[in-house]
Amino acid sequence: MLIQAAAICLLYSSRAVAQSGSSSETDLGTGIATTLTGSNTASVTLNGGNYVAVTSRITYASNGETITFTSTGTSYSRPTDLSSVLANATGTSTGRNSTSATQTLLVGGTAASSGNSSSSIATATTSSARPTNTVPCNGYPEFCTRSYSNITHVCAHNSPFNRPGNIASNQELPVLSQLNDGVRMLQFQVHDQNGTLWLCHTSCELLNAGPLETYLQTVAEWMQRNPYDVVTILMGNYDVLPPDRFVEPVRNSGLLQYVYTPPKVPMSIADWPTIGSMLLQSQRLVMMLDYEADQNEIPWLLDEFSYVWETPFSPTEPSFPCTVERPPDQPEDMSRERLYMANHNLNLEVAIAGASLLIPASNALNVTNGLEGEGSAGWAVANCTSDWNRPPNYLLVDYYNIGSFNGSIFQVAANANGVSYDRDSCCDTTQRDFSSGAVTVMRPASSLLLALVAGTFLIFVW
């Protein structure tokens, strides 16, 4: 019975929406599993022990007009004194002007603030030579003056789902390790369980990673310790909930003070600010919702597909075409002006209890997350760069720490970004803490526990 229930649950990809306008049904004895395409999605609820498909209408926001935000809605009101945020790696604060958000990220010499707008990194006025910036923004000093839209960010697919022995898991290491290692985008799906938002993979009976608020609190505590990093969170609205349901967990977690509020919707790649200016304004959390976002009501909860398009998701073939799948029917000229995500997580299709299931292809991770060769992340990024004249903004992967060498996916991103990557920094070995200037050595990660024994998939539901 457990295997049958899991089979029904896993019929749904972690982000199950495709593009044409058809549907199909499979009767597995314990309920009806429905796979929908087009502008629909499917969710699964437990009804007296049976899994029953519940469908809801999904619509994509129209990009035909631009909306400029004139109010902050439910945004957090930020303090102007950012000295506690902009501390350098030695634990001392940089120069600041207490009457404005003017700061400097320049370290290594005497510098005075010039009073420039906080929308850009402040320049230094000094009689000596201008010092070199040594503070890493998102891990690299070069990123401080680079646009958010001009960086390839490594994204942990289904970030919270790292349960050993559960085939629904997509990661080996927890979110703190992901962030410490350099993951800068966290993606996952959210389910409504009796009025509380939980992190569940397809079904809370299959894999439950706890409340959304608890997970976000962990991220908030990390961001407090790491003031030079911009993080992106993409939430999957699995049950198609009203967007205001997501406000309280974000507020209670402590993350609301960091959210980025865009000036308008949609935005082209040229509209995005630099990483440095996002840090200076303490707007260093880009929060996205895949469906049902309403930025007129909640400006900081971004409608994903007004800003980002995605390549085909849940692929089972290592060809990884760099084509637009969502939003559907988006004109090419518009796609060229938007951020984009390369879904580079290879899946295996297996049959259990008469059902066809998709699970991470763990046996191919050394290639899929590798640096070179057909089907590798390096190869796919090169193809995307050729097709679109720029690399992906987000590289979504399973088991980010495993590849042709540990952390090879970060080397792929570094190559795309034109920076040098320290291979010894991965994985799960160090914890950066800029508030004290300390680097704490952590216990090495345990080996990956694969749920594959002699061709039999074992499920342990915790």
- Determine phi and psi for 221, rounding to 5 degrees: -65, -35
Query: What's the longest Cα–Cα distance across the chain?
Result: 79
For residue 172, give the 3-state DSSP assignment.
Answer: coil
**Which residues are bridge partners to 404 per DSSP?**
none
Name 251's Cβ contacts closer than 8 Å, sequence gap at least 6. Answer: none
Catalytic-labelled residue, pool 153, 157, 191, 344: 157
Catalytic-labelled residue, pool 153, 191, 201, 344: 201
Helix (H) or strand (E) holding 236: strand 231-237
Active site residue 157: yes
Name 382's Cβ contacts closer than 8 Å, sequence gap at least 6. Answer: none
Indicate the residue type of 41. Answer: T
- With tokens 């044409």, the residue in question is 20
Q: How many residues comprise the chain? A: 462
- Asked if the peptide bond before residue 266 counts as cis, ω within 30 degrees of 0, the response is yes
Tell me the H-state helices in 323-369.
332-335, 365-368
- Asked if the peptide bond before residue 327 counts as cis, ω within 30 degrees of 0, the response is yes
Which two three-digit tokens encode residue 199?
A: 């992190």
- Is there a contact between 55 and 40 (Cβ–Cβ < 8 Å)? yes
Burial (Cβ within 10 Å: 0-12, 13-18, ≥19) of residue 353: middle
Nearest to 45 by CA among 35, 32, 58: 32
For residue 370, give the 3-state DSSP assignment.
Answer: coil
Which two three-digit tokens encode residue 38?
A: 């087009």
CB crowding 297-326: b at 16 or more within 10 Å, else e: ebbbbbbbbbbbbbbbbbbeebebebebbb
Pairing of strands 285-289, 301-303: parallel
Active site residue 344: no
Report the C-alpha gap between 306 and 312 in whole angstroms. Answer: 17
- Is there a contact between 422 and 168 (Cβ–Cβ < 8 Å)? no
- Is there a contact between 273 and 261 (Cβ–Cβ < 8 Å)? no
For the annotated catalytic residues, the residue numbers are 157, 201
